[in-house]
Amino acid sequence: MSHKSPPKKEVGMKVPDLAALTGYLLASGWTLQDDDGRTSLWRLRRTEAHESIRIVLPVTRDVIDYVERVSDALDTLSFVEQRLPREIADDMLFGGADNVAVRLTPDAPTGEAPLTLAYSAISAIRNLVVASAAALDYPSLVLPPRRPQRAEAYASQARLSTQPGSFVLSLALPLADIYSDESADSTPPGQDALVRVPPQPFGRRVTSRMLATTRKAQQLAEEVGEGTQPISSFGKFVPGAPNATELAALSSLGGPEHGIYQIRFAKSPLAGGTTEPALLRITPGQQRILAEGADYLRTKQPRAGVTVTGLVVRLFREGGYGRGEAVIQGVADDSGEARRYRVELSEPDYSEALRAHAHGLQVTATGDLDIRGTRRSLRRLSSFAVIPGLEDES
Q: 385: domain CATH number?
A: 2.40.50
Q: What SS3 class is residue 57?
A: strand
Clarify whether residues 173 and 102 are in a common domain. Answer: yes
CA distances from 230 to 131, 258, 284 (A): 24, 21, 19
Clarify whether residues 113 and 86 are in a common domain. Answer: no
Clarify whether residues 123 and 238 are in a common domain. Answer: yes
Clarify whether residues 118 and 254 are in a common domain. Answer: yes
CB contact at 8 A, 200 and 271:
yes
Q: How far is CA 31 from the centre of its chain?
A: 34
Cα–Cα dist 245/134, whole Å: 10
Look at residue 83 in the predicted model and tell me its pLDDT: 87
Percent pLDDT > 70 in the chain is 88
Lateral strand order in the sheet of 168-174: 159-163, 168-174, 97-104, 261-266, 278-282
Domain boundary, last residue among 300, 331, 360: 300
The separation between the first and the last C-alpha atoms of the chain, rounded to the nearest angstrom, is 69
CB contact at 8 A, 164 and 5:
no
26 CB-near residues (< 8 Å, 6+ apart) = 32, 194, 195
Cα–Cα dist 364/332, whole Å: 10
Cα–Cα dist 166/50, whole Å: 32
Clarify whether residues 247 and 177 are in a common domain. Answer: yes
Cα–Cα dist 223/161, whole Å: 34
Domain boundary, last residue among 300, 335, 363: 300
Clarify whether residues 253 and 341 are in a common domain. Answer: no
CB contact at 8 A, 55 and 76:
yes
CB contact at 8 A, 224 and 254:
no
Clarify whether residues 53 and 188 are in a common domain. Answer: no
Clarify whether residues 120 and 240 are in a common domain. Answer: yes
Which of 386, 353, 389, 141 shows the shortest CA–CA distance to 242? 141
What single letter denotes the amino acid at residue 256?
P
Return the DSSP state at 151. Answer: H
Q: Which helix (H) or strand (E) holds 352?
A: helix 347-359
Domain extent, residue 38, equals 1-94
> Please, what sign has the CA dihedral across residues 127, 128, 132, 133?
negative
Backbone φ, ψ for residue 342 (5° rounding)? -90, 140
What is the count of structural domains for the chain? 3
Clarify whether residues 244 and 181 are in a common domain. Answer: yes
357 CB-near residues (< 8 Å, 6+ apart) = 311, 312, 313, 315, 326
Domain boundary, last residue among 283, 300, 317: 300
Clarify whether residues 278 and 183 are in a common domain. Answer: yes
Clarify whether residues 224 and 295 are in a common domain. Answer: yes
How many residues are there in the chain?
A: 394
Cα–Cα dist 232/239, whole Å: 16
Clarify whether residues 329 and 385 are in a common domain. Answer: yes
Taking the chain (394 residues) in consecutive chunks of 10 residues, what is each chunk's mean pLDDT? 46 76 87 88 77 87 88 90 87 89 90 92 96 92 85 94 84 89 45 55 95 96 95 87 96 95 93 82 97 88 84 92 93 81 95 94 92 83 87 51
CB contact at 8 A, 42 and 50:
no
